[in-house]
C-alpha cells in the first residue's frame, strides 16, 4: 500500500516569513502533485512534477521532487495572508508506470499566515 506522510500537519506563521512543507513516502511514484484547498471547496492543482530531482517555481512557491521520486517539498518565500489554506500532496502511479489511476494523498498541511 502506498502512503504519503506530510509534515508539519499545522503551520502558523507571520506575513513575510518563509516555510517548507514536506511530503515523504517509502514508495516510488510516477508523478507528484501539489494542491491547495480552501474551506468548502475542492483542491486546486498548483503543480505537477514527474522527473526525479525536478524543481519547479511558481512565483513565490518552489516545488521539488526527490531524486528517487519518493518525496517532495513545497517552499513558500515571504508568505502572505492569501497563502492561507490546506496544502495537499498527491502521488500518482508507481514504478511500473501505468498511465491512469488513483491519486494517493497525504493528510495535508493547514497553513495560517497572520498579517
Cell digits of residue 77: 518565500
Q: Which stretch binds another protein (CB under 8 A): 11-19, 57-65, 74-82, 84-92?
A: 84-92
Residue 50 touches another protein, criterion: CB under 8 A? yes
Q: Where does residue 16 fall: left (phi above 0), alpha (psi -120 to 50 degrees), or beta otherwise?
A: left
95 vs 115, which CB is nearer to another protein? Answer: 95
* Closer by beta carbon to another protein, 66 or else 108: 108
Contact present, 34 and 92 (Cβ < 8 Å): no
The answer to whether 32 and 65 have CB atoms below 8 angstroms apart is yes
46 binds another protein (CB under 8 A): no
Instruction: Establish if 103 lies at the interface with another protein (CB under 8 A).
Output: yes
The only residue of 48, 62, 73, 84 in contact with another protein, by rule CB under 8 A = 48
* Residues 3-22 contacting another protein, CB under 8 A: 4, 6
SS3 80: coil
Pairing between strand 71-76 and 61-65?
A: antiparallel
- Given a contact cutoff of 8 angstroms between Cβ atoms, the answer to whether 91 and 31 are in contact is yes
Contacts with another protein by CB under 8 A lie at 4, 6, 30-31, 33, 35, 40-45, 48, 50, 88, 90-93, 97, 99-108
Amino acid at each position: 500500500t502506498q502512503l504519503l506522510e506530510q509534515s508539519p500537519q499545522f503551520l502558523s506563521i507571520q506575513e513575510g516569513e518563509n516555510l517548507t512543507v514536506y511530503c515523504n513516502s517509502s514508495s516510488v511514484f510516477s508523478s507528484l502533485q501539489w494542491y491547495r484547498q480552501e474551506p468548502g471547496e475542492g483542491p486546486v492543482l498548483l503543480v505537477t512534477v514527474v522527473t526525479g530531482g525536478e524543481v519547479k517555481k511558481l512565483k513565490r512557491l518552489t516545488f521539488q521532487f526527490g531524486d528517487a521520486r519518493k518525496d517532495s517539498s513545497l517552499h513558500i518565500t515571504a508568505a502572505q495572508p492569501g497563502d492561507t489554506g490546506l496544502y495537499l500532496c498527491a502521488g500518482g502511479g508507481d514504478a511500473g508506470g501505468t498511465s491512469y489511476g488513483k491519486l494517493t494523498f497525504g493528510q495535508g498541511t493547514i497553513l495560517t499566515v497572520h498579517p
